[in-house]
Amino acid sequence: MVGAVPWLALGSFASGVGSLYLLAQLRDHWDKPGAKWFVATIATITVWCGTYGVAVLASTPLVRRGLEAVTWVCLVWIGFFFLAFALGYTGRTTILESRLFTGLAAVPAAGSLLALTNPFHTLLWDDFRPLAVDGASLVQYTFQPLGYVVVFVAMLFVVFGTVLVFDTVISYGPLYRREAIAVGLSPVPPGLAVLVWALGIGPTANLTTLAFLPHIALDSYAFIRSGMFEFHPATRRAGERAAIDDIATPVAIVDVDGRIVNLNPAAESMLGVEKRSALTDPLDGLLVGDTFTVGEAYDRFAVENGGRRDVYKVQQTELRDAGDTHLGYTAVFQDITDEIQRERRLAVLNRFLRHNVRNESVVIQARAELLAAELEGEPADHAATIERAVDRLVESGDKARTLSTAGVDAEDIEPVALRERIEDTVRPLAEEYGGTVDVEVPDGLTLRTQPVLLGVVVTNLVENALQHVPEATVEVSTRIEGDDVVLTVADNGPGVPEHELSVIERGRETDLDHGSGIGLWLVHWAVQTLEGDLAFDTSDGTTATVRLPRERAVVSDPAAA
């Protein structure tokens, strides 16, 4: 293999300088996935180009032989480093950190040892002859079969790495389409140059170091100018893995026949099996409890494991490839065991409050009325206090049952004539509490909503003002803003205390921070159910503003609120 061009050394040094520039630009990306291996790849190119540039200028045969061996060492390691970069960059860290890949490093290590000791065994090449052409020091030798194997394996590593990067980055879509093409094409020029050199076809000179110039240019475009190390596929792959493996919700992937393709750790725990032993087994055969049918959703699905019976809500989603071929299903098991237990406890508590507490309160109320009527002086005052407290308790219980008795189906939504509805609601309240309620609502204004919950909102806002302000003046008004109706209830009182409103805004109470009644909570829940917004202004009295959609089409569940 003979060849010489005067510019071969200069071209090699130029490639080395280019690779040094790329290394300098990568210093801010050292901690990114695969970056260290990419740096190792570019550093190997730098050594290769520098060594070969010096070798072309060397005139001593022994030095030339040693430098040629170093270029072989660079050749056998560059493929391994590039493959490691591809695994790290694309998020395949499990493979990269495996014992198998670590053991794979023995291949380039053995190739390096063979290259450095080749003069003693000539297993890689033989008949080494220095040749001076136009002032350049080149060499000619004959490849041995093992030499071809070493070159082939090194190029195979590069091919595998290129395929991984190209395929993974392309899957991002148009975001890095051009950059992925650049990465995929960058190994082509040096790869072709190595083939031409090894097979002895075309130019006789080894032009690999010159071919690194377009390689460095393409990599610089992809990783520096376009920032492929800023947004890398490892994030996506880790996210996909975490979305299934790291969540506590059992997820099973099955084929169209219901056979297990994959299980996350939560599903292994649910089934009481190990994924490795369960693969290809029918999922229904591992579920003890209800019968599982692929493709069907279940609101309640019982699974027994270790003497425990859990209940899940099962959602199955079809898996299809790019050609819309149905491949299987992703079955997600949402544990609702605790939710069902809470429902049962709340049902029991609700029945207890509705019947036992109310009945006993009525008894206490009646006896307190009798005592207040028959006693005189301080005992009569005590009886009256008991009567008023029980009245408030019964009233609160009635309010607490309001939402549970209000319908939430589509049939409960109907057109409501606002002026008539509000006047009918506030008239008895004004008579009961002795205040004044002014209603300013345009005639003919209708609102398609749930009348019962609208009444809850108006009743509790107006009642709250009348109860806490002697001879209060309350103004109820409405206006139209776009597709919404804005209802305003304003009073001339001192304003609702800040701690009362803060617990409503947070959506929860604590032992130290809670409201004194349930009225504002009822307003809050009812407005949520009506898909509206609620706001309070206490700068001058209390002004409650409720924004409701004029046409309520979507029905939500107040129990969820």
pLDDT band at 333 (very low <50, low <70, confident <90, very high): very high
**Terminal alpha carbon distance of the chain:** 81
**How many CB atoms lie under 10 A from the CB of residue 273?**
17
**Taking 80 as the threshold, does the pLDDT of residue 235 lie above it?**
no
Cβ contact 43:24 at 8 Å: no
Instruction: Report the alpha-carbon distance of residue 361 to residue 380 in Å, rounded.
Output: 19
Mean pLDDT of 363-378: 80
Least confident of 138-152, 224-238, 414-428, 504-518: 504-518
CA-CA distances (angstroms) from residue 113 to 100, 102, 121?
21, 18, 11
Please state which of the four CATH numbers 3.40.640.10, 3.90.800.10, 3.40.50.300, 3.30.565.10 is assigned to the domain occupying 407-549. 3.30.565.10
pLDDT at 5: 47
Per-residue pLDDT reduced to its tens digit, 237-286: 555 555 576 678 899 888 888 898 888 888 888 888 888 888 888 988 88
CA-CA distances (angstroms) from residue 282 to 256, 279, 356?
11, 9, 51
Q: What's the mean pLDDT when you consider all of the chain? A: 80
Per-residue pLDDT reduced to its tens digit, 96-107: 888 999 999 999
- Max Cα separation, the chain? 131
* Pairwise pLDDT comparison (16 vs 184), residue with the higher score: 16
Query: In this prediction, what percent of the chain has a pLDDT beyond 90?
Result: 19
**Taking 90 as the threshold, does the pLDDT of residue 4 lie above it?**
no
Please give the structure tokens belonging to residue 45.
């190119």
Instruction: Report the alpha-carbon distance of residue 186 to residue 217 in Å, rounded.
Output: 8
Superfamily of domain 247-335: PAS domain (3.30.450.20)
pLDDT at 425: 87
Per-residue pLDDT reduced to its tens digit, 28-65: 777 777 788 888 999 999 999 999 989 888 878 889 88
pLDDT at 396: 62
pLDDT band at 75 (very low <50, low <70, confident <90, very high): very high
Say what the pTM is.
Answer: 0.52
pLDDT band at 116 (very low <50, low <70, confident <90, very high): very high
CATH 1.20.1070 fits 8-236, yes or no: yes
The beta-strand segments (E) located in 224-292 are 251-255, 260-263
pLDDT at 513: 37
pLDDT at 47: 95
